[in-house]
Chain A
Amino acid sequence: MSVEHPPLPDAEALFEDAPCGLIVSREDGTILRANRIFCTWIGRSVSELLGLRFQSLLTVGGRIFHQTHWAPLMQMQGSVAEVKLDLLHRDGHVVTMLLNGVRREHAGGAYNELALFGTTDRDAYERELLAARKNAEELLWEKTAAESALQQLKSELSIAYEKSQRRALFAEQMVAIASHDLKNPLTAIRMACDFLARSERNVKDTQLLRHINQSSERAQRMIADLLDLALARVGRGIAISRSSLDLHKIVGQSISELRVTFPQARVEHRIKGAGTAELDADRVQQIIGNLIANSVAYGDLQHPITVMSEVDSGMITISVHNEGPPIPDSLIDNLFEPMTRGSVKDEHLRSVGLGLFIVREIAVAHGGHVAVTSGTATGTTFLVSIPTIESAADTVD
């Protein structure tokens, strides 16, 4: 049994209604034929198109691209494929099409035969891909930039660290040099004074020798303070070396020595609890010395200076109290900063202004702190609080 097939479309119908735009043009682009589909896509009639140049249907960018890229390609290799072009619809909107073209030679010359496919959706997709790629590249660039900035900062940091290490080393060397070269001559001066004082002296000589002795002592204290400042500020901090000691005993010894240094003051010592603690004995003496010197300089010596030492429930406290005018508000905020000084009654008591700074640094080096309260009625109290080794360990855990 045979089946009747409908007749196949003829060439003309195939051309006009092909599922793509078809154009035949001269080599210069002049359109000789255009099929119905193409006309529909760009909203123009065949009669409008005939005689126009194909490139005149393109956006300006497309025309330049035609001139610089695919026209030479058509000429050189006789065909182009997958060229994407923006064509202008009669009403002005852009229609994106993909173009394949062949240059076909005939006896009288050559024609360009073009097939065009609408590709609006794919174009949108490709643009999205492009945008995503661009975005990814930007992010990569940002990441790279951030990394190189980080690297730069790291190297700057490492340079700064090296620099600070060198400065610390220098400060320590300075400390070593100064302690040798300045302390020794002062010790020699004091020994000579002692030696001279052993012989019989008239009143004036004795007075002069006492001056020399006191001034040398003061100079020694100042040097020690300056060295501590150097260590705390540019070096690796004030070093402490803890050992088990009796706090009350150490404080008592300091007070005995200070009574000799400051005969004009009355110093009382009160103790609370057992005195066993892990502290740096020399530094504790320095705390007492600096705080009492401060009280002598600024307090009312009609009243005794009271020192209290206490070890209790994980906290070591040392306080020094004196009566007298309160510390002015203008000073109190910066009291523990170096070079802060009040006005001293007695010129001999003037210091470099490092005493309280060093007290704080010693307290901090022990993991503690120092506080001050000052008022007209209550007088002035400095309170150094240092956690015991055991309680400090608990806190860390």
Chain B
Amino acid sequence: MDLERRNNVTIVGDGPATLVFSHGFGCDQTMWSYLYQHFTGQFRVVMYDLVGAGQSDLTAYSREKYSSLAGYAHDLVEIIDRYARGPVILVGHSVSAMIGALADRLLPERIAAHIMVGPSPCYIDSGDYVGGFKLEDIHSLLDTLDSNYLGWSSTMAPVIMGAPGQPGLSAELTNSFCRTEPEIAKQFARVTFMSDNRQDVAGLLTPTLILQSTEDLIAPVAVGEYLHAILPDSTFCLVPNVGHCPHMSAPGACTEAMDTFLQPWVGEHVR
């Protein structure tokens, strides 16, 4: 299995420990653009696309394997085995935070720490737990994905207007990093938003930094606090940000919190 091709693996920077960046539902590794360069001086940085997203090998997509997050966790384990050197810190956005937790369960002791950006162990309300969504909301999302079917399908790539003030943006980025084969997008949406990982993540002893936006529709503050409560060695950091992507819209606040958290793995502290 050619992992590099399957997951479009990118490796930059060097250091005694490895940061593995795993993107969330919707886009691909390009969303780490505002963040990763800050760390390449001190860390080996590994970024990849989940199978089905971005520039991953679509022929590797299997409806059976990726019918649950376990399939993605298995891929992450393989990537860690192959590309990580030294202590591994997983940086997972959104659903990838849970994929990281599942990978930790598969590879006990191998993962030194987690940085969870906008994580949620369960999106749908159940009993006393408030995830923020109801089942019909997820159906509404699937419907929205469906209605953008033509827009996202490869044969009708949307024409992008000139983006004033952003001449540096390379042409191949145009919409593509958030464009997914519609059927895959729908299955991934279903798997992401229907999954309940509260049991998997509860009691995970690995040190964890939770980066929680002050206002996030997809992962509300209460969900971040819930996660903080069930993770014994977790640090909760509230980032002033509106939206689900603080690593894009508030990268400064994110790197600041991450620097502090990553101290034990920087330079001379690592044997």
Contact = CB atoms under 8 A, between A and B. Distances in A.
B141 A65 contact: yes
B106 interface: no
Contacts of B138: 61
Contact of A83 (B27, B151, B216): B151
Q: How large is the interface on B (under 10, 10 to 19, 20 to 34, 35 or more residues)?
A: 35 or more
A53 B216 CA distance: 13
Interface in B164-202: 164-166, 169, 173-175, 177-178, 193
Interface of B: 24-27, 30-31, 33, 94, 133, 136-151, 158-166, 169, 173-175, 177-178, 193, 215-218, 242-245, 248-249
- Give the most central of A59, A72, A80, A83: most B CB within 10 Å: A72
Interface residues of A, number: 42
Contacts of A67: 26, 216-218, 243-245
Given A76-B177, A80-B175, A103 B163 contact: yes
Interface of A: 27-29, 53, 55, 59-65, 67-73, 75-86, 96, 100, 102-105, 123, 126-127, 129-130
B243 A71 contact: yes
Contact of A72 (B139, B150, B174, B178): B178
- Give the most central of A29, A76, A83: most B CB within 10 Å: A76
B144 A72 contact: no
Contacts of B149: 126, 130
In the A-B complex, the 7 residue pairs with the smallest Cβ-Cβ separation, listed nearest first, are A78-B163, A68-B26, A61-B140, A61-B141, A61-B144, A28-B242, A78-B166
- Give the most central of A63, A105, A123: most B CB within 10 Å: A63
Given A68-B26, A81-B158, A86-B143, 20 more contacts: A28-B249, A59-B144, A61-B140, A61-B141, A61-B143, A61-B145, A64-B193, A65-B144, A67-B217, A68-B24, A70-B178, A71-B244, A76-B30, A76-B31, A77-B169, A80-B175, A82-B151, A86-B144, A102-B164, A129-B150
B248 to A, nearest CB: 5
Nearest to B162: A79
A55 B217 contact: yes
A72 B245 contact: yes
Contacts of A130: 146, 149-150
